């Protein structure tokens, strides 16, 4: 963690943006861009483990990147099983590593 993996320079892509907000990942503040997928903000911060499997606790991370495989599920704002690769960032979102099927949490 801690290193920035955002593309800083590119020969073709023009609209490279800077973080304009933040999310909370397992209690830590991580810079993020409003509207980008939660998974992209996490990857940018070097986080690649999204959850651990139910039976054997194996780590899982982004696999398909387009909402089809379910590997990137995390607990988002208290709701488990949220596919972070297709969930847009909102300011202050609370994102947690999911253990197994995860648990519903009351955030208030």
Partner 1 sequence: MRKVQLLIVGAGPAGLSAGIEAARAGVQVTIIDENLRPGGQLFKQIHKFFGSRVHNAGVRGFRIGEKLLQDTKDLGVEVLLGYPVYGIFPGGEVVYGTADGAHQMKAEKIILATGANENNLYFEGSTLPGVMTAGAAQTMINLHHVLPGKRVIMVGSGNVGLIVSYQLLQAGAKVEAVVEAAPSIGGYGVHAGKLKRAGVPFYLSHTVRRAMGSTEVEAVELVELDHFKPVPGTEKIIEADTVCMAVGLTPMTELASLCGCELVESRGLGGLVPAHDHNMCTTNPDVYIAGDISGVEEASTAMEEGRLAGTAAAESLGYISEAEAAEKKAEIHRRLDLLRSGQFGAKRAEAKAEIEKSFAQMQRGGEVG
Is residue 38 classed as helix, strand or coil in its secondary structure? helix
Total interface residues for ligand FES by CB under 6 A: 12
Separation between Cα atoms, residue 108 and residue 98, nearest integer Å: 19
Q: Indicate which of ligand FES, partner 1, none lies near residue 82 (CB less than 5 to 8 Å, by partner kind).
A: none
Residue 69 DSSP code? S
Q: Residue 37 CB, nearest distance to partner 1 (Å)?
A: 6
Residues linked to residue 88 through DSSP beta bridges, in sequence order: 37
Instruction: Give the range of 3-11, 14-22, 67-75, 91-99 binding ligand FES by CB under 6 A.
Output: 67-75
Residues forming the site for partner 1 (CB under 8 A)? 5-13, 16-17, 36-37, 40, 43-44, 48-50, 58-68, 71, 85-86, 88
Report the candidate in 52, 39, 35 with the shortest Cα–Cα distance to residue 19. Answer: 35
Q: Which helix (H) or strand (E) segment is 42 a member of? A: helix 38-44
Q: Residue 71 CB, nearest distance to ligand FES (Å)?
A: 5
Q: Residue 18 CB, nearest distance to partner 1 (Å)?
A: 10
């Amino acid at each position: 963690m801690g290193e920035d993996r955002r593309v800083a320079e590119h020969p073709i892509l023009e609209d490279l943006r800077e973080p304009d907000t933040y999310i909370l990942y397992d209690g830590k503040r991580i810079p993020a861009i409003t509207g980008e997928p939660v998974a992209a903000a996490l990857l940018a911060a070097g986080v690649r483990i999204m959850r651990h499997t139910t039976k054997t606790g194996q780590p899982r991370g982004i696999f398909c990147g387009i909402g089809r495989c379910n590997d990137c599920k995390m607990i988002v704002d208290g709701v488990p099983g949220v596919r972070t690769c297709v969930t847009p960032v909102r300011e202050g979102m609370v994102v947690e590593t999911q253990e197994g099927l995860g648990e519903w949490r009351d955030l208030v």
